[in-house]
Structure 1
Amino acid sequence: MERDSARNGAVRSEIVIGILELLDENTDREHGVTAAWIADRLGVTVKTVRGHLHALREMRPFGRGVGHIERGELKDAESPDPRPGWYIEPVFDTAQMRLLADGAALSRSDGAYLQDLVAKIYAFAGRSRQLGIRGPLMTPKHYNRESLSNIERLNDAIAHERGIRFHYCTYDVDGELVPRLGADGHPREYMADPYDLRYKNGKYYLICHLQPYDDLAYLHVERIRDLMVDVDDHTLNRTFDSFADENGDPIDLTAFMDERPYPSPGPAVPVRLRVEGGLEPVFDWFPDAQATQVGDDAYEVTVKATPWSTTWWALQYTISGVHITVLEPESIRDELRRAGRILLDRYE
């Protein structure tokens, strides 16, 4: 009897797995299937399928809801062939799908790999019928073919606190990546403690401690080659927790990156600005900016940022419709004056 019970349990499990597979492969929020259709493919009775479907609706397998789409719910459907019936919720909703797919498409990676990745994202969102990419995703002309494996290995190194060694590249006259050379004329080997991977301004950055320097460093992942990861865990020369901000507090990496519209070394400082013509350039780059209106479309703004990144940021809006004037600190004003003189001498 125990053997019969075990056999029946195994059969029930196979039926449930078969139902979930059919729902996952053939349904979304606008396309359902009938219990009879499922029963026909699994070779069981409709009554059996309906019983399992109602049980799955209560269970929410893997956190995904199982439900039934009624015909009246499809009157505003976007797809040309909506279909009532049983369905399972997709892994991602449509907004999550677009964010993931567009983020992947923006990365500088292998085109065929990205095409496959985006297709999987759409499938997980139940939108495989409407893959939203026009034309193929092309591999960048000067693509580092070690990038994908490097991302996987860097992620592992960060998770296990393993030190890394690598060559760091620059471009030659043909735009090809070539290792930077040391004083001996051979490729220079770098050593670093990796902490995080962050995407900003169209670049994928490794946040790390580059030995033997004291500050946090920002390296373009696509320029890393010949990456070697220590085989043992906890081999970092210095942990991320050993870094502190100017007040001696632990570094919040998200806030730390927000203070650097362009990743740059050095501490962030308070910067006071006068902005005329609109605040879009401010809040697009500095989400924590403090602004006070002081006139007709004029504002006094305070941000916290590194001097170098503030200089680069201000220079890009020199001839825009928004006028930005750095009021403090004087060191940034000096650097902007110096940049102005260089431009005047170069183009006069």
Structure 2
Amino acid sequence: MPKSVNQKQKLLFLLDYLRQNTDETHTVTTPQIIDHLAANGIRAERKSIYNDIQTLCDYGYDIIRTEGAHAGYRIADRTFELPEVKLLVDLVQSSKFITTKKSRQLIGKLEQLVSKNDAKKLQRQVIVADRNKTSNEKIYYSVDVIHSAIAENRQIRFHYFDWNVRKEMQLRKDGRFYQVSPWLLTWDDENYYLVAYDADAGKMKHYRVDKMLDLSAVNQARCGRTDYEQMDIASYSRKNFGMFAGEETTVQLLCDTSMTGVIIDRFGASVAMRPYDDTHILARAQVAVSPQFFGWLAGLSTHIRVISPDSVVNEYQIFLQEILRSYTDMQ
């Protein structure tokens, strides 16, 4: 049989066909493979298919031949198994910093990692539109610029915005650029943050990446290396609730024993903790005292109480009183 025009692409078409149409419960037969190749302008005989399959196996692909009622071929080795791809889809869906549009694009690409039949299973779990997603479509460009600046030891500058009551972006610092030395990208409280050194303030700060606009690298070397190398980023994230900074203080918390897991989840397994009585534990942790920390405490009702230092106890009481007063004033 004379060779067809696309004969050199035969193995590629065969491999793609196996990837798209086979999995643990689906196989393709030799006639189906021959028909698929023919549809793409490639002539093939049964014997040549056997040889091509063996060539792919010799190269390292795990292609299984099954016998019986469902005799055929299926590809067994994939970079990602279906449960792994489902996990990645869940992460994309739940990530607030990824826009709805980009979420759908990424999920579409993830579907290409599995067979067509398994991709249908992914579609049944895809719910993106109602999630609380960012609207900053340039975040992917921003992340790339930040990574490049870190690799090249360069500073960056950007505008930083808040939302106003008209749901409009309002630039901080009257529209002036921030200029900082980027050191690390981290994930906390469902948001992507840049940890960077602010030379004017003389300390490390963090910034929400989805709130950055007009970001670019600056041809100046980064500063703040000593501060960064002395920084424990895991501890930093645990202390700063929702990445809101405050005065760092060691607090003692009296907790119901049922709150043991909550304390470990928040402050890590190394948190100082001991039994207090039959129904309580005493925990000690360093936190950045802020309204976000107090909000976390309030959400746990009477199950966790601050017992020291007195200054934090007083601040928390004032925090609660002001909330109560705001409701009393409405009457």
Q: TM-score range by the shorter chain?
A: 0.7 to 0.9
Identify the match of residue 298 of structure 1 among 280, 287, 291: 280
CA separation of 1:47 and 1:243: change in aligned 2, threshold 3 A: farther
Separation in 2 of the partners of 1:259 and 1:69? 56
1:112-166 alpha-carbon deviations (Å, 9 max, x no partner): 2211211211321443222144556369697234333323322322332321111
Between 321-330 and 261-270, the greater mean CA deviation after superposition: 261-270
- The answer to whether structure 1 residue 243 and structure 2 residue 244 are counterparts is no
SS at match of 1:238: coil
What corresponds to 2:188 in structure 1? 200
Tell me which amino acid in the other structure corresponds to 2:119: S
- The answer to whether structure 1 residue 337 and structure 2 residue 317 are counterparts is yes
Compute the displacement of 1:188 (Å): 1.6
What corresponds to 1:122 in structure 2? 111
1:159-183 alpha-carbon deviations (Å, 9 max, x no partner): 323211111111222121121244x
CA separation of 1:179 and 1:37: change in aligned 2, threshold 3 A: same
What corresponds to 1:24 in structure 2? 19
- The answer (yes or no) to whether the contact 1:258–1:286 under 8 Å persists in 2 is yes
Q: Which has the higher helix share?
A: 2
Unaligned runs of 5+ in 2: none
SS at match of 1:262: helix
Identify the match of residue 79 of structure 2 among 79, 91, 96: 91
CA separation of 1:43 and 1:304: change in aligned 2, threshold 3 A: farther
Identify the match of residue 68 of structure 1 among 64, 70, 76: 64
Compute the displacement of 1:219 (Å): 0.9
Separation in 2 of the partners of 1:23 and 1:51? 15
Unaligned runs of 5+ in 1: 1-7, 75-81
Compute the displacement of 1:275 (Å): 0.9
Aligned residues: 313
- The answer to whether structure 1 residue 172 and structure 2 residue 164 are counterparts is yes
Tell me which amino acid in the other structure corresponds to 1:327: I
- The answer (yes or no) to whether the contact 1:28–1:90 under 8 Å persists in 2 is no
- The answer to whether structure 1 residue 112 and structure 2 residue 101 are counterparts is yes
- The answer (yes or no) to whether the contact 1:271–1:326 under 8 Å persists in 2 is yes
Separation in 2 of the partners of 1:71 and 1:335? 74
Separation in 1 of the partners of 2:15 and 2:230? 46
What corresponds to 2:263 in structure 1? 282
- The answer (yes or no) to whether the contact 2:99–2:134 under 8 Å persists in 1 is no
SS at match of 1:306: strand
Identify the match of residue 323 of structure 1 among 294, 303, 306: 303
CA separation of 1:86 and 1:343: change in aligned 2, threshold 3 A: closer
CA separation of 1:254 and 1:129: change in aligned 2, threshold 3 A: same
Separation in 2 of the partners of 1:145 and 1:270? 40
Between 281-290 and 166-175, the greater mean CA deviation after superposition: 281-290
TM-score normalised by length of structure 2? 0.78
Tell me which amino acid in the other structure corresponds to 1:302: R
SS at match of 1:278: helix
What corresponds to 1:101 in structure 2? 89
SS at match of 2:298: coil
CA separation of 1:165 and 1:321: change in aligned 2, threshold 3 A: closer
- The answer (yes or no) to whether the contact 1:177–1:223 under 8 Å persists in 2 is no
Separation in 1 of the partners of 2:287 and 2:59? 50
**Percent of aligned pairs with the same amino acid:** 19
TM-score normalised by length of structure 1? 0.75
1:29-88 alpha-carbon deviations (Å, 9 max, x no partner): 33232344334425333333334434534543xxxx52327479x9xxxxxxx9963214
1:267-300 alpha-carbon deviations (Å, 9 max, x no partner): 8554432111433432332233344344444222
Compute the displacement of 1:189 (Å): 1.3
SS at match of 1:256: helix
1:208-240 alpha-carbon deviations (Å, 9 max, x no partner): 12331222211111211122223x5xx33315x
CA separation of 1:299 and 1:142: change in aligned 2, threshold 3 A: closer
- The answer (yes or no) to whether the contact 2:93–2:128 under 8 Å persists in 1 is no
Tell me which amino acid in the other structure corresponds to 1:129: K
Separation in 2 of the partners of 1:238 and 1:218? 15
Tell me which amino acid in the other structure corresponds to 2:263: V
What corresponds to 1:156 in structure 2? 148
CA separation of 1:173 and 1:99: change in aligned 2, threshold 3 A: same
